Structure 1
């Protein structure tokens, strides 16, 4: 080996050690920087001797990052579901103190039982009227809150779509910079970290999969296989702004609620989008409408069973008859009824009708205004049949509708379709409360999983300051060794030159 070769080898070693020391110091400086991944500088041995210093490379685990993105989306979705259902659950009331719909319906039944013991008692008539008013008021409150919740989810979707467009523009800008740097033969490690951070934030809104492209670029895919356009100046995602009513729904045949569109083309499905946006569509189009449908059919069934016995106690808005749950296509007609149900104005003005009845029905004839004050025929029918398991002696009630519900007539509840209306109401309340409790548990679990994965990613890809400091000691030794080689070569050159003078 010539002295020139030894000098070149030592010089390349010094350059490598110097770059590795600079990289180690950069790792230590960014140890607490969110989204920063540990970089490493490697050397490539050259056939003619010496070492070539390579550009800094990231030390990442693609599989673990994929799991982290999925966990981020699941946490965001579970959080939105928990927040939405928790607010609705608070309005359901506590079954233990009788403030739930099931409890208030039981109180109404008990008031009729008490009234049947003393039909002429004006105080008991008023008590039954107030029990009915409390039940209707609670249904109004919950029904209206569900409508407001759907509108809130729709408005939240609009905000999330705007945020997703902003993040897509960030990813697009960074992706162009990465491609340019790689095409020019320069390191893009820091830009890759920034791009991945933007992709991670976007994964909280949508379930996206980054697919590698040329020059270290990426293509973003949705679960359906649709590709998200990457343009730093565009907003490819869109969702129309609407005011949601109880009769609105998404889909065929005449749904008015919009879905997500990419470059103006509506996606064929929105329920599988994942993240906050996917959960938002699920809440707006499935979960809340189903809960509304359960409440609406409860209200309509109660009103219908009372009317069948001769007492129109509850009506629709304006005093019109309540929708008939057994009528063909009753689902759309019942949509939002719980938020509109009210006390029949005629009964509100004449509480005695709670004893006497409002109309002839099924062999029942109302008690005339000057009839006997101890009239119990209606009250017996209400207690035995309206709140019982049969509509008449030996005749079971028609099944409570469990399908064909909601504004589009496409919702199925899965709730029991026969039995007492009080049992049905209690079941519906319990199911919805349990659903909210499950959402809370799922949110906590999703947060724990995301946090655990975050710790694993940090351990795998983050900076270990102790390890970096130990590496710096080794690099110092390597630097010193190469410097001594250069010093020795210099001494040899000096000796050689001195010998020929």
Structure 2
């Protein structure tokens, strides 16, 4: 090797050492910088004609385990999803109250029962009657406020979805822009590590919004998909749209278009990501699940409690009277006091098989036909009949809906008669009764319309007309103003009943704490095959315990997932982050190499000086 080639080799070594020091100094300077990954540059032997003439350093690269990075992103999406559920379920739980708290919904029902007992002990006491009405008002207010909180949280989720979609679009545009820069620099064999860090930060932030899958391309760019396989970004990003709604109430559902939906728009293609099930994790999925599933279920629990409470206090059962027509026997039922939502309960046996039928009065034929799930009872058949038509038409509709062996007629007025097939002997009418909700405060039995629908002041009858009276009833339930105006009706249920009589208060207490009812399975309490059956106060305790359990489970799941995410983050940081000790050790090696190369250059300069002096 000549002195010139030796000088070239030493100069290349000096340059490589300088480059290494530059990379190391940037690593040290960025300790703790969010998203920064340690950069390294491999050095290789520089050859000419098969002989080494020095050294060169490749462009700086990152040390990133892409499999671990994808695991971390998926875990981050799961953490965001579970954290949102935990936070919002905790707030629902706070609204319902703790099971052992007097301020909970269950506590309010219990307090109402306590005031009833005081009324039973002192039916003539005006303060006792006033205290009972006050507790009833407190319970109604608690239901109103909790319902309002549920809808406010749904609207909050709607707004957060809108903000998340806007943020996702911005992040996709950032990723696309950095993609282009990376492709350009890689084509020119330039360093792309810092741009990759910038792009990864955007992808990491996107993964908090939705679970994404990233595919690396040969040109250094990436393609981004949802976990469900929908393309979000290839060369250019798609656009995510969201039709945000600014108002929310219990009738606002995804199915009826009352809430916004996230759509993926690419050219002429538009995909509803919610309907496609593409949002499986991340903050957006968390808010969608809260808005469309968990919060509506909580609302359904409140509405069911409010509805059953109102019905329990007011309902009266009217038994059918025996009817005979020749050899045919059965029952007559007077429907004069029936209103929309009231029912006729018919049991018959045909061919040795007993069948229970619930005939529901509707005044809005657009809601027909009715599903058997309209009632929570198992095994019954539900028949909806439009009563807002001539009696002849009502009878015709009933006859068409029932077997021919059950004969339906109208003997007079508003009476409906159900008869068996007489001498044929193939059918029997076992029982007929009607469940009605009288609006009168007295003279209609011991029931009392204690609670009414505050929207229009009508008695709650669980009408199915329109969207159904039960939907959102918890936000409208109120104590009947007529009862507040004359609280003597709490005791005096009929003419001549003395104020010391305890019949009605005792019946109230039984309706609240002893008589069992069957509750709708859409509340999440019980199932369609085994709906929950219990008293009003038992159902109140059950829904409070349900929410408490949900909140506790969600908190536990979120904490467990956070442990996983933190562990993955620690592993990722350990592999990709800057370690000061390692960098200082490397810096010492580079310093020694730099000094050695400088010494070689100095020696060669001295040798050149000697050669020059010989020439003189």
If the TM-score is normalised by the length of the shorter chain, which range does it land in?
0.7 to 0.9
Counterparts of residues 401-416 of structure 1 (less than 5 Å): 401-403=520-522, 412-414=524-526
Counterpart of 1:322 in structure 2 is: 460
Which secondary structure state, in structure 1, belongs to the residue aligned with residue 460 of structure 2? coil
Is 1:477 aligned with 2:592?
yes
Is residue 166–residue 235 contact of structure 1 (8 Å, CA) maintained in 2?
no
Change over 3 Å in CA distance of 1:446–1:330 after alignment to 2: farther
In the alignment, the residues of structure 2 paired with residue 88 and residue 211 of structure 1 have an alpha-carbon distance, to the nearest angstrom, of: 40
TM-superposed CA distance for 1:494, in Å, is: 5.1
Q: Is the 8 A contact 2:93 2:544 kept in 1?
A: no
The answer to whether the aligner puts 1:164 opposite 2:168 as a matched pair is: yes
Per-residue CA deviation, residues 216-270 of structure 1 (Å, 9 max, x unaligned), is 10111101100113678x771111121222101113xx34322211125322335
CA distance in 2, matches of 1:496, 1:86: 86
Return the offset for 1:56.
Answer: 0.3
In the alignment, structure 1 residue 440 sits paired with structure 2 residue 555: yes
* Partner Cα distance (2:520, 2:218) in 1: 56
**Mapped pair 1:419 → 2:534:** yes
2:71 maps to which of 58, 67, 80: 67
Within the alignment, does 1:115 sit opposite 2:119 as a pair?
Answer: yes
CA contact (8 A) 2:227 2:278 kept: no
Change in Cα spacing, 1:6 to 1:332, as seen in structure 2 (3 Å) is: farther
Alpha carbons 1:207, 1:274 under 8 Å: kept:
yes
- Cα distance in 1, alignment partners of residues 577 and 450 from structure 2: 68
Task: Considering Cα pairs closer than 8 Å and 6+ residues apart, tell me whether 1 or 2 has the greater RCO.
Answer: 1
CA radius of gyration, larger in: 2
What value does the CA root-mean-square deviation take over the aligned residues? 2.6
Tell me by how many angstroms 1:58 deviates. 0.6
Does the CA contact (< 8 Å) of 1:270 and 1:278 recur in 2? no
Q: Give the superposition deviation at 1:429.
A: 0.8
Per-residue deviation, 1:343: 0.9
* 1:458 equivalenced with 2:464 (yes/no): no
TM-score (norm 2): 0.71
What is the CA–CA distance in structure 1 between the aligned matches of 2:466 and 2:498, rounded to whole Å? 38
Alpha carbons 1:13, 1:482 under 8 Å: kept: yes
Distance (whole Å) between structure 2 residues aligned to residue 226 and residue 371 of structure 1: 72
Pick one of 235, 240, 244 that aligns with 1:237: 240
219-228 vs 93-102, which deviates more?
93-102
User: Which runs of no fewer than 5 residues in structure 2 stay unpaired?
Assistant: 317-446
Q: CA deviation at 1:3?
A: 4.1
Structure 1, 299-308 or 377-386: larger mean CA deviation = 377-386
Question: Contact 2:304 / 2:519 at 8 angstroms: preserved in 1?
Answer: yes
SS at match of 2:491: helix
C-alpha distance in 2, partners of 1:63/1:484? 45
Matches within 5 A, 1:84-233: 84-229=88-233
| Secondary structure in structure 2 of the residue aligned to 1:475 | helix
Instruction: Name segments (4+ residues, structure 1) moved above 6 Å.
Output: 327-331
Secondary structure of 1:98's match?
Answer: coil
Q: What secondary structure, in the 3-state scheme, does the structure 1 residue paired with 2:498 have?
A: coil
5+ unaligned residues in a row in structure 1: which ranges? Answer: 357-365, 391-396, 406-411
Q: Would you tell me which structure has more strand in proportion to its own residues?
A: 2
Contact 2:209–2:284 (CA<8 Å) still a contact in 1?
yes
The structure whose residues are more often helix, as a share, is 1
Determine the C-alpha separation between the residues in 2 that align with 1:200 and 1:332: 45
User: Alpha carbons of 1:442 and 1:307: their partners in 2 closer, same or farther (altered >3 Å)?
Assistant: same
Instruction: For residues 377-413 of structure 1, give each alpha carbon's deviation from its aligned partner in whole angstroms, at most 9, with x where no partner exists.
Output: 32332223443144xxxxxx3x21113x6xxxxxx44
* Map of 1:52 onto structure 2: 56
* 1:265 matched to 2:271: yes
Instruction: Using the TM superposition, give the Cα deviation of residue 70 of structure 1 relative to its aligned residue in structure 2, in angstroms.
Output: 2.4
> Which residue does 1:339 correspond to in 2?
475
